[in-house]
Structure 1
Amino acid sequence: MQGHSNIGLSQAPALWINPEYGGQAQEVEVGNITINDVLAAEQRLARFAPLLKKLFPELDKSAGIVESPLLSLSADVIAPGADEYGTFWVKADHQLAVAGSVKARGGFHEVLEFTEKIARERGLLKDDDGYEQLASATARECFAQYEVAVGSTGNLGMSIGIMSAALGFRASVHMSAEAKEWKKRLLRSHGVTVHEYPGDYAQAVATGRDLARENPFSHFVDDEKSPSLFCGYAVAALRLQRQLLDLNVRVDREHPLFVYIPCGVGGAPGGVCYGLKHVFGEHVHCFFVEPEDSSCFLVRMQNPDVEGISIYDAGQHNRTIADGLAVPQASELVYSMMRTRLAGMVVASDERMVMDLWRLKSMADLKVEPSAAAAVSGPRALLGSKEGQQYLRSTGLDAFMPTANHIVWTTGGALMPADEFDRLFVQGQALSSALDAGRISAA
């Protein structure tokens, strides 16, 4: 990049650029999902807003809309010298009310879509009825006949479980071995039944799916295959567009937008990316960030002809501190949607996530979990690696980097117990001190 040097890191996180990015298939809708479905999801969330305001006092100020702020972020959180590459922001989904993570929009949307279906089938809603009446004793008695179930490593389970229980459904969450104990405790405090498994995310999902098939009154939220979840996640892009307009932030050829999102099975980041590509087209560049020992989406992107490939096939072991990203196999639905829409993938170490948890708190007063802190490795990889510099040069973006905008998407953490966060904060501080002293690498 003429006139600019790489940001101040001796070694950037690994970056993979998608060779199919921007290909012809980008305009082909896969999985019967179109932008009209996303618009319908946004409208459904708006219809339910009065009911959510009634169910959750914390949504009073937002009139029942669950949305996060877009916050300014000091470039120093990324690395010394990063300010040469534009302006940095945080899409603070770790602050999303009720569920505390990026999973809120998609998870809430699917539960509410199911609620709407049951309410109309059972005569609880007429065309002109207000949705607040679905909090009535009659409605709750009806909903109590149904189960809403999901398989999760944690955050999706909290989203589905908390909303389902609040509406009166019998909520069941099938949790994998990676799920944190505090998330299980929180779910149980809301009256959610938590099923624990010794295996990974795939086992929890498969078992939950099989059990739901046996019960005609059970609705299983399938994170690997659900268009409803995907569309709910994509609503974030429509709202982000309005936030950028309110802040007078332009997105065009001279003002490219880069978005960095942590990735597990792919649903939430895939939905966000899909929505952003519809809104901003070629001027937005999305990168997913995964743990180095659990990079299922990268494995799938690198093996386009091997459907169902897992991290175990690639020699990984699914060991990571980032419980929300500990997934062995990517969603095939989302992969098909991302194949030409996703600019690239970043792989981050557990040590880097914990250090960035500390940096985000100490430098920006943001309390996030390790999965969310992974997003900081996104811009660091793009701006600090040879692959990233080559991508910027080859696309002609290098000329516009001083006027670029970068959004780090923090996906969870506000509900984390203080003792859990403090332990990670101290660990991150110690690792950062070791890095500064040259005792560990910056990877």
Structure 2
Amino acid sequence: MSALEPVNDDISPISLADIERARRLLNGVTAYTPIETSSSLSAVAGTSVFLKCENLQRTGSFKLRGAFTRLSALSETDRKKGVIAASAGNHAQGVAVAARELGIDCIVFMPNGAALPKVTATRTYGAEVRLAGEDLAESIELAQIEAAESGRVFIPPFDHVDIVTGQATLGLEVLEQVPQVGTILVPTGGGGLLAGVAIAVHLSGSRAQVVGVQAEGAAAFPASLSKGAPVRLTQMATIADGIAVPEPSELTLGIVRKHVAEIRTVTEEQIGEAMLFLSERAKLVVEPAGAVGVAALLAGSIGLEGPIVVVLSGGNVDTLLLNRVLLHGLVVAGRFMEMIVRVSDRPGSLVKLLTALAQTECNVVSVEHDRTSTGLAATDVQIAVKVETKGQDHKAEIIATLKRLQYDVAFPAVEKA
């Protein structure tokens, strides 16, 4: 580990001593998650790339760090009152485990549409789960109302100094594991993890730049940083529910403005591509929110000084969603394609089509006949074919072959060939 010169920052809400104290508190509670090298990402970035595998943390995400730090700071009186939180999954599990470890009664509000595995896990950890609210914002509102009426202590997902201090311990680990780090890419929602990592890095004297990454469909930081105050998004749309937060807090925004180099955004397609990449090349299961840093790196490493550490912030992904996202990633990568081919409804037509496809060396996954679609002539049949391909060039070759043989080929709306 290289010697770092701590930075004195008297106006910071968090000191290096606070972070080191939290780290001692978390010893034996959280795991010292591994750093994995990635030769594939290093080749893409043109510099050494490391993955901080917080998806392997207890509860499957970094959230336990902040939750345990916050609950540990409660007075004995507040502990007896119990705690309440609201979350779509990761914060819920972090608070539930922290409460169990400290012997505190815990209620967690989760949106009605919360993923079943996350709901089940939160209950397994000992919390009382109440499914209420159409989205996270409504669940938070209901949880705060309950807290005011019951006297329980509300545990926010990011808007508290103790929460940010706990998340900052991840930054200290990164500096120990890759002391020469040049850039740290951090998944960002409300900014608790980003603020924590950035302030830990800065106060430790490292010259590494910290870059936040948000989903394009839920990116509240760019407008908030531009205005200099939290700006609330009126709508959000992303598969990365773990970072779908409508606005940062004054606390996190203030730290980010001072300690973070920049904020980057990634598209849904890029997130899916990153999850596929991590699954195939790194053998890691990472949720959409946890994969945005890799998505940003795959989108372009210009301006990112190496070595680069990418934080994989969580691995709690519903299996059904994982299946859909990975399939979409295959489509984007040109490795899976669905076509609708119209042929004459006569014996041998299907055999000819499949023979043509076989000559392109693609793998046919499924075939479905349709003779009743609107606009389909009585003499024609519509065949939906799903095939596995070897990439964009192979995909283009298949399409070209079918068109050369004068097949009428179309693609579903989700497939833009």
Shorter-chain TM range is 0.7 to 0.9
SS of match in other structure, 1:293 = helix
SS of match in other structure, 2:333 = helix
SS of match in other structure, 2:224 = helix
Amino acid at match of 2:280: S
289 and 258 in structure 1: CA distance in 2 versus 1, 3 angstrom threshold: same
Q: Which has the higher contact order (CA 8 A, sep 6+)?
A: 1
Corresponding residue number in structure 1 for 2:149? 214
Corresponding residue number in structure 2 for 1:82? 44
Amino acid at match of 1:408: V
Corresponding residue number in structure 2 for 1:309? 231
CA offsets per residue over residues 120-173 of structure 1, 9 Å max, x none?
Answer: x79xxxxxxxxxxxxxxxxxxxx6x43221122221111001221344322111
29 and 379 in structure 1: CA distance in 2 versus 1, 3 angstrom threshold: farther
Amino acid at match of 2:49: F
Corresponding residue number in structure 2 for 1:40? 21
Figure out how many residues of one structure are paired with residues of the other and give that number.
336
Contact 1:261 1:408 in 2 (8 A): yes
**Displacement of 1:420 after TM fit?**
4.5
Amino acid at match of 2:314: G
CA offsets per residue over residues 306-358 of structure 1, 9 Å max, x none?
Answer: x342122xxxx211100101111112101011112111111111121111101
Matches within 5 A, 1:15-414: 27=9, 29-30=11-12, 32-46=13-27, 49=28, 52=29, 65-74=30-39, 76-77=40-41, 82-84=44-46, 86-97=47-58, 99-114=59-74, 117-118=75-76, 145-176=80-111, 179-216=114-151, 218-244=152-178, 249-251=179-181, 257-281=182-206, 283-304=207-228, 307-312=229-234, 317-381=235-299, 383-384=301-302, 388=303, 404-413=306-315
Amino acid at match of 1:43: R
Using structure 2 for the length normalisation, give the TM-score. Answer: 0.73
SS of match in other structure, 2:114 = coil
**CA distance in structure 1 between the aligned counterparts of 2:114 and 2:232, rounded to whole angstroms:** 19
Structure with bigger strand share is 2
- Higher alpha-carbon Rg: 2
**Displacement of 1:277 after TM fit?**
1.6
Displacement over 4 Å in runs of 4+: 417-420, 437-442
380 and 429 in structure 1: CA distance in 2 versus 1, 3 angstrom threshold: closer
**Displacement of 1:238 after TM fit?**
1.8
**CA distance in structure 2 between the aligned counterparts of 1:166 and 1:101, rounded to whole angstroms:** 17
368 and 227 in structure 1: CA distance in 2 versus 1, 3 angstrom threshold: same
**Displacement of 1:292 after TM fit?**
0.9
250 and 326 in structure 1: CA distance in 2 versus 1, 3 angstrom threshold: closer
Contact 2:198 2:259 in 1 (8 A): yes
Contact 1:87 1:406 in 2 (8 A): yes
Gaps of 5+ in 2: 1-7, 336-390, 397-410
**Displacement of 1:431 after TM fit?**
2.4
Contact 1:150 1:173 in 2 (8 A): yes
Contact 1:149 1:208 in 2 (8 A): yes
**Displacement of 1:70 after TM fit?**
0.8
Contact 1:287 1:378 in 2 (8 A): no
**CA distance in structure 2 between the aligned counterparts of 1:209 and 1:378, rounded to whole angstroms:** 35
Contact 2:93 2:125 in 1 (8 A): no
**Displacement of 1:96 after TM fit?**
0.4
**CA distance in structure 2 between the aligned counterparts of 1:303 and 1:197, rounded to whole angstroms:** 33
Amino acid at match of 1:250: Q
**CA distance in structure 2 between the aligned counterparts of 1:410 and 1:284, rounded to whole angstroms:** 18
